[in-house]
Structures are given as structure tokens and as C-alpha cells.
């Protein structure tokens, strides 16, 4: 149980375009999902907390107008990287958990390359 599916697993886009990444909880409902970014040879960095039916909470230094998060249902959160630039190239990962004080389940990640 507690499976999180992330799509796509990789994407290449041109500079200036937007890319949408989907994160789905397959067998449970997730009122809260988390989005992380990971650069090569670095650890995961929390970008934002996605809340179903309300605005996302962004970590300090993360541009909310650039990284748009939508959590319109209890099983789907999306991250849209708008006007992508090469420096946005990274590994994006989402996570959620079945209930409070349980362990977190992570998606398999999305490798974004902006050319």
C-alpha cells in the first residue's frame, strides 16, 4: 500500500517553455504532498508543501510564480515549472504519506533537462 506514482520519469524541454510534472497517490488519499528538488551529488531540498484545496506553502527562496503547484484532488498534485531555464534542470521528486506519523512514500522522480 501507499504507492506514489510520478510522471513523467524524464523530460527534455526548450528554454522558455513550461513543463508539468504529476504526482499521484494510487491507493490512498493524500491531503498533503511534498515536492523536492535534487541537484547532482546533492541531497534533496524541500521546495514546497502542496495542500489539497488550498494554496501551496513554499520554502524560503523558492519562487512560487515559477514553480506552480496545484493540488486539486486528494490523489493528484502537479508541479509546473514555468519559463524553464537550464538552471532549472534537476531531479524533481514528490512524496506523501498514508496518515500522520507514518513513513513517507516517494515518487520515482522526474529528471528535467532544459536545453
Partner 1 sequence: DAKTTQPNSMESNEEEPVHLPCNHSTISGTDYIHWYRQLPSQGPEYVIHGLTSNVNNRMASLAIAEDRKSSTLILHRATLRDAAVYYCIPTGGTSYGKLTFGQGTILTVHP
Stretch that binds partner 1, among 14-22, 62-70, 82-90, 103-111 (CB under 8 A): 103-111
46, 63, 73, 85: which one contacts partner 1 (CB under 8 A)?
Answer: 46
Strand partners, 81: 19, 67
* Whether the Cβ atoms of residue 69 and residue 81 lie closer than 8 Å to each other: no
Whole-number Å distance between alpha carbons of 22 and 4: 10
For position 62 contacting partner 1 by CB under 8 A, the verdict is no
Report the residue number, 12 or 15, with the smaller CB distance to partner 1. 12
Chain Cα centroid distance, residue 87: 17
Please list, in sequence order, all residues whose beta carbon lies within 8 angstroms of the beta carbon of residue 99, skipping any fewer than 6 positions away.
Answer: none
19, 93, 112, 114: which one contacts partner 1 (CB under 8 A)?
Answer: 93
Q: Where do contacts with partner 1 occur on this chain (CB under 8 A)?
A: 6, 32, 34, 36, 43-46, 49, 91, 93, 95, 97, 100-101, 103-109, 111
Amino acid at each position: 500500500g501507499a504507492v506514489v506514482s510520478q510522471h513523467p520519469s524524464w523530460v527534455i524541454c526548450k528554454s522558455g517553455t513550461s513543463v508539468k510534472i504529476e504526482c499521484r497517490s494510487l491507493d490512498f488519499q493524500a491531503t498533503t504532498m511534498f515536492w523536492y528538488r535534487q541537484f547532482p551529488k546533492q541531497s534533496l531540498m524541500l521546495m514546497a508543501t502542496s495542500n489539497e484545496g488550498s494554496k501551496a506553502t513554499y520554502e524560503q527562496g523558492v519562487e512560487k510564480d515559477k514553480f506552480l503547484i496545484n493540488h486539486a484532488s486528494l490523489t493528484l498534485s502537479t508541479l509546473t515549472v514555468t519559463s524553464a531555464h537550464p538552471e532549472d534542470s534537476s531531479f524533481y521528486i514528490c512524496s506523501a504519506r498514508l496518515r500522520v506519523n507514518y513513513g513517507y512514500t516517494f515518487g520515482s522522480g522526474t529528471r528535467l533537462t532544459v536545453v
